[in-house]
Structure 1
Amino acid sequence: MAYSLLIVDDSKVSRMMIKRNVSQLQPDWLLLEAESGEQAVEMVRTQAPDFITMDVNMPGISGFEAVAQIRQFNSTSKIAMLTANIQESSRTLAAELKVTFVPKPATVPAIRQALDYFLTAS
């Protein structure tokens, strides 16, 4: 089955790396991109992706704020916080929002960890 994945990161380079690594592991998946938390919330409303990778630190609303907004209308999306922000408070907040936490950089093993979470949780 082909799934859709929304990649949310304000860094174009990070989005490209994530996209490349996901494409290697899951070539049939539809990959969508958002460069801000606000854009991600709107895309989840209109596109309803199966899975989401979300950066934490972005201009405008943070990744955590975007997830909180998404959870108001979509409680079932599988979300991985894929971020260089490895503070314990970030891990705690990720657990409270019922999302997994995958540290950057977006290497193939890190992406595989996120994809394994998505596929076993669905």
Structure 2
Amino acid sequence: MSIRLLIVDDSRMSRLILQGLVAQAHPDWTIVHASSGEEALQLAQSQPVDLVSMDFNMHGMNGLEAALALRKILPNVPIAILTANVQSVLQERIEEAGMAFIAKPITAAAVAQLAALAGA
């Protein structure tokens, strides 16, 4: 199944690590990148995506703010917030917003959690 994954992270290295792990597990997926929430919103308006991986701690709007704005554009697209910030309060806020929480570091297990959101 071909999925178009939008990776949103202000760390280029984190985007590339996730891309590499996704490519190993799902070579048929298409991956697009955004380095900020603002860039993700622009991309989502011009290109269809099936799944979003969003970092939480970013410059400008944080990942949850960006994800909530994306939800208005892409109401049915699964969104996962990936973060090293594993405080239960943040986890609850993410889950209450209808999004998945995935703890960093980015691993093959994190990619499997992400793929499960897309039914892959």
TM exceeds 0.5?
A: yes
Gaps of 5+ in 2: none
Give me the whole-angstrom Cα distance separating, in 2, the residues matched to 1:97 and 1:41.
Answer: 18
What is the aligned partner in structure 2 of residue 32 from structure 1? 32
Q: CA deviation at 1:49?
A: 0.6
TM-score, normalised via structure 1 length: 0.93
After TM superposition, give the deviation of residue 50 of structure 1 in Å. 0.3
Q: Deviations over 1:28-85 (max 9, x none)?
A: 1000000001111111111121000000000000110101111223211111111111
Partners of 2:24 and 2:87 lie apart in 1 by 29
What is the one-letter code of the residue matched to 1:117?
A: L
1:18 to partner: Cα distance: 0.1
The residue identity in structure 1 corresponding to 2:90 is S
CA deviations 1:1-48 (Å, max 9, x no partner) are 311000000001100100000000100100000000111111111112
Structure 1 unaligned regions, length at least 5: none
Question: For 2:48 and 2:86, how far apart are their aligned partners in 1?
Answer: 28
Superposed structure 1 runs of 4+ greater than 2 Å apart: none
- Equivalent pairs counted in the alignment come to 120
Percent identity, please.
Answer: 38
> SS in structure 2 opposite 1:5?
strand
**For the aligned residues, what is the CA RMSD?**
1.1
Q: Residue in 1 aligned with 2:9?
A: 9
Distance 1:68 1:109 in 2: 25
SS in 2 for 1:16: helix
The separation in 2 between residues aligned to 1:27 and 1:12, in whole angstroms, is 20
Contact 1:67 1:97 in 2 (8 A): no
Paired with 1:47 and 1:89, the residues of 2 have a C-alpha distance of: 33
Query: How far apart, CA to CA, are the structure 1 residues paired with 2:79 and 2:68?
Result: 11
Q: Give the aligned residue type for 1:10.
A: D
Alignment of 1:42-121 (within 5 A): 42-119=42-119
**Which amino acid is 2:116 matched to?**
D
